[in-house]
């Protein structure tokens, strides 16, 4: 039975309605600061925590609820010893805690946030109350998410929560405080020590920290993983600088699925690969990906023309592929997209006319990834790859060697057109699984050889796929040729 509740929230969604329902049931409500003011303004009887404890809020509000009458009321059990000790010390039980925390993650997501601003948004009293209440969930109910208020409202009508409900809410509270602490640790680990006493925007630390605190939140469960017998879910990072930069560049995790079936595990991998390559290309561009490798890439005067060329570069592989374009999908492009079976399309947006045309393909997944569609440069971000028993962490590969800085090793200097094609092929090769060979001509890939143990075999795959189409093309390789045999095959192609 809930007789006394402590309510103190930063996210005030639904809190007035919840508090009113509690008050109607005769529950005494303790609160602090802005929450108490909001409840009082709504005509709800509320008792300030300072009146309950007999101790004022001090240190600019940093100390409000850190008091034995609060934590004793949360941690005390229904044993004769605890009841006697609480009575002797004037401590009354608190049966319900409704708390969510200072918006630390939202604060550090702002590009101009200073270290001082971030520090001031580290909640101390809130996590302490959540942990105390969650530890004693046999007696105390803890609510950290406004979406769970209906559980409390239903329990008020029914009489009380079940032990299973209290356990589930406690588990969620501990997950929330763990994620909160992980975000703080990750943020501070990403800040250079020179910023320790700075009043300005904190410079990012470029060295890897001794300890990584990674936290992801589940977006949704997937039907299965890479294979039907594998369970899977899609998680997004917590916007800490270690996992996500502040550039607001588009990602699949932050994109909106506008239509079609739910994304699969393999769809998400391929969409990420297609988007990553498309972001490297400034001109109107189209990328077709199959099995995490590009099979056709093109740039042109508009994305419809680029897509037509990218698809025709390897029409067989394009069937059932994933397409990325770096401009809005218009009606011209939409008419081309519906000509072939495709799994997904990702773009900055879709015109109304394009949406009408694409609606004919009910299973085609349309993904809108908003943000700055450009190649990220100079950003601090880390890539994490798990292995059995650990993980490998490296800086994200944002770099590109510019051909203007390259040494010409042949007697003939490339023409301007060849240089442009080389730069294009070089960017594509970065996104092809090694050993990678990319032939390109006039802004379109002519053939792509991917994922072979021998670089010579990658060249031969290109030769078989393109035939006479390789004449006059340029070639990019993702690594050096250790012997001349690969170059001999290239010259003969």
In the residue annotation, 135 being an active-site residue is answered as yes
| Greatest CA separation for the chain | 95
Long-range (24+ apart) CB contacts under 8 A made by 66-75 are 66/124, 66/125, 66/128, 70/6, 70/94, 70/129, 71/128, 71/129, 71/132, 73/4, 74/129, 74/132, 74/133, 74/136, 74/140, 75/132, 75/135, 75/136
Q: Which residue has the tokens 């805690």?
A: 97
3-state SS, residue 386? strand
Contact 369, 275 (CB under 8 A): yes
Contact 100, 173 (CB under 8 A): no
Choose, from 12, 47, 82, 135, the residue flagged as catalytic: 135
DSSP single-letter state for residue 258: E
Contact 310, 297 (CB under 8 A): yes
What is each CA distance from 437 to 22, 245, 285, 294, 421, in whole angstroms?
67, 31, 20, 12, 14
444-449/437-441 β-pairing: antiparallel
Q: How long, in residues, is the chain?
A: 493
Choose, from 82, 172, 291, 398, the residue flagged as catalytic: 291
3-state SS, residue 440? strand
For residues 7 and 4, what is the distance between their CA atoms, to the nearest angstrom?
A: 10
* 467 backbone φψ class: left, alpha, beta (φ>0; ψ -120 to 50): left
In the residue annotation, 291 being an active-site residue is answered as yes
Which residues are annotated as catalytic?
A: 135, 291
């Amino acid at each position: 039975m809930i007789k006394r509740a402590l309510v103190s929230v930063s996210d005030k969604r639904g809190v007035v309605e919840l508090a009113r329902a509690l008050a109607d049931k005769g529950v005494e409500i303790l609160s602090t600061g802005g929450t108490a003011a909001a409840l009082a303004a709504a005509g709800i009887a509320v008792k300030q925590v300072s009146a309950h404890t007999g101790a004022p809020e001090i240190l600019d509000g940093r100390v409000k609820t850190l008091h034995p009458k609060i934590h004793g009321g949360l941690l005390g059990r229904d044993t004769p010893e605890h009841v006697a000790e609480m009575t002797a010390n004037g401590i009354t039980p608190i049966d319900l805690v409704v708390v969510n925390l200072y918006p630390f993650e939202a604060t550090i997501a702002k590009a101009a946030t200073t270290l001082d601003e971030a520090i001031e948004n580290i909640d101390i009293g809130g996590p302490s109350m959540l942990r105390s209440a969650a530890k004693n969930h046999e007696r105390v109910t803890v609510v950290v998410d406004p979406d769970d208020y209906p559980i409390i409202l239903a329990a008020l009508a029914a009489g009380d929560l079940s032990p299973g409900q209290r356990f589930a809410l406690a588990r969620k509270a501990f997950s929330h405080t763990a994620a909160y602490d992980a975000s703080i640790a990750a943020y501070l680990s990403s800040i250079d020590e020179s910023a320790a006493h700075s009043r300005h925007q904190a410079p990012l630390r470029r060295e890897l920290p001794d300890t990584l605190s990674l936290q992801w939140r589940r977006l949704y469960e997937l039907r299965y993983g890479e294979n039907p017998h594998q369970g899977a879910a899609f998680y997004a990072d917590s916007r800490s600088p270690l996992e996500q930069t502040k550039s607001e560049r588009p990602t699949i995790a932050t994109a909106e699925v506008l239509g079609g079936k739910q994304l699969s595990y393999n769809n998400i991998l391929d969409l990420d690969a297609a988007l990553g390559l498309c972001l490297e290309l400034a001109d109107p561009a189209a990328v077709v990906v199959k099995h995490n490798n590009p099979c056709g890439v093109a740039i042109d005067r508009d994305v419809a023309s680029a897509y037509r060329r990218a698809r025709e570069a390897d029409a067989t592989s394009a069937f059932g592929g994933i397409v990325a374009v770096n401009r809005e999908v218009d009606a011209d492009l939409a008419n081309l997209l519906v000509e072939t079976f495709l799994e997904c399309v990702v773009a900055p947006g879709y015109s109304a006319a394009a949406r009408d045309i694409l609606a004919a393909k009910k299973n085609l997944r349309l993904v809108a990834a908003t943000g700055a569609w450009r190649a990220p440069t100079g950003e601090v971000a880390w890539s994490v790859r798990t292995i059995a028993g650990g993980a490998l962490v490296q800086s994200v590969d944002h770099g590109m060697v510019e051909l203007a800085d390259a040494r010409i090793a042949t007697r003939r200097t490339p023409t301007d057109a060849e240089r442009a094609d080389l730069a294009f092929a070089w960017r594509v090769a970065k996104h092809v699984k090694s050993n990678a060979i990319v032939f390109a001509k006039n802004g379109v890939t002519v053939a792509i050889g991917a994922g072979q143990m021998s670089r010579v075999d990658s060249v031969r795959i290109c030769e078989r796929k393109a035939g006479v189409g390789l004449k006059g093309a340029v070639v990019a390789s993702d690594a050096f040729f250790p012997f001349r045999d690969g170059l001999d095959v290239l010259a003969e192609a």
